Amino acid sequence: MNKFDSQNTKRLLDKNLITENQYQEIVSYRNLNIFSLNVELKLFLYLSVLLFTSGIGILIYENIDSIGHIVILSLLLIVIAVCFFYCFKNSKGFKKSETQFDHPVIEYLVLVANILTCIFIGYLQFQYKPFGEHYGLATLVPTIVSFFCAYYFDNRNVLAIAITGLVAYVGLSVTPQDLLKNNDFYASESLSYSAVMLGILLILWTIYSNRISLKTHFSLVFLTFALHIISIATISNLLHHDILIWLIFTGVLGGSTFYFYKISYEMRAMSLYVFMILYGYIGANIILFRLFENVDFSNIWELFVFLLPVYFIGSIVMFIKIIKNFHKEIAT
């Protein structure tokens, strides 16, 4: 038993929160040095899912001419049907509260079935176009399936796929790199407004779900997507030359930062707090730059160059300090 655990256990005894007998049992158990392989096993299961689905994609790509489209689609459909049949048969059914599977393999079979469903519908649309030119429907259908599976089987990984599909349906790419690289927020304000509105809808759904106690443990997933989508779309438009648009997105960033600051404390979510600070810092620096872009610094350029490293070093120190303070506050 390490020193930290020993001190905390002794503190519980000193406060009479546990009895002497319970204390001895805890000490004896920890002295056995038993450790859990649960995280490691789940990691291998997750990697196996990724390798399996990636292997199917490579198999389709390399043998598409020799195997044939109908055969590939039929094999995919059979695997999907078998996975879903086993999952439905062994699941506990839909519950509003958090549900734990009797065996963790079921959770990853749901993930496999869901990913293969997305591959199946995408392949079907690409090859035979059952939805015609309405490619949005080819995204919306697997998104609906993913939301159903996420709530029915209580699966956060599938929920992330569902939200990604929803974001793709409104014309966005979810990863931050792709958002900045592929989606031209600067040129298309409508895309930015769509991103902000989607983020707000995710927040409103989270609030409603918490009010009716519907899968409240999904809140962090929804809010994480909302934070990234709103913040990246907003920051991208802080460089806009139209003063009205600049003011609108400055206000959105300020409101978003304030909201996620409060909710990160309420949920004790370190991830939300860290990204909120990062996005707020980036946005504040862009706003500061825009405010002083017409100021002539030629007379004090040397002082500016000297203070710039101090500013960034001070920012790093302050960032570390506020993160440590946040960790202390949520730990108490």
As a whole number of angstroms, the distance between CA 306 and CA 72 comes to 64
Chain mean position to CA 160? 6
> Which among 277, 238, 235 is positioned nearest to 260, based on CA atoms?
277
Q: What is the reported pLDDT for 307?
A: 77
The conformation of residue 185, written as its DSSP 8-state character, comes to: T
pLDDT per residue, tens digit, the chain (332 aa), is: 455 456 677 777 777 777 777 777 777 777 766 666 566 666 777 777 778 777 777 777 676 666 777 888 888 899 899 989 988 888 888 888 888 877 778 888 888 899 889 888 888 887 788 887 777 788 889 999 999 999 999 999 899 999 999 988 877 544 444 445 555 454 456 778 888 999 999 999 999 999 999 999 999 999 999 999 999 889 888 877 778 888 888 999 999 999 999 999 999 899 999 999 999 999 998 888 887 777 666 666 667 777 778 888 888 899 989 998 888 888 76
Tokens 């079921």 found at: 106
- Categorise residue 296: left if φ over 0, alpha if ψ from -120 to 50, beta otherwise: beta
As a whole number of angstroms, the distance between CA 284 and CA 290 comes to 10
Q: What is the reported pLDDT for 64?
A: 65
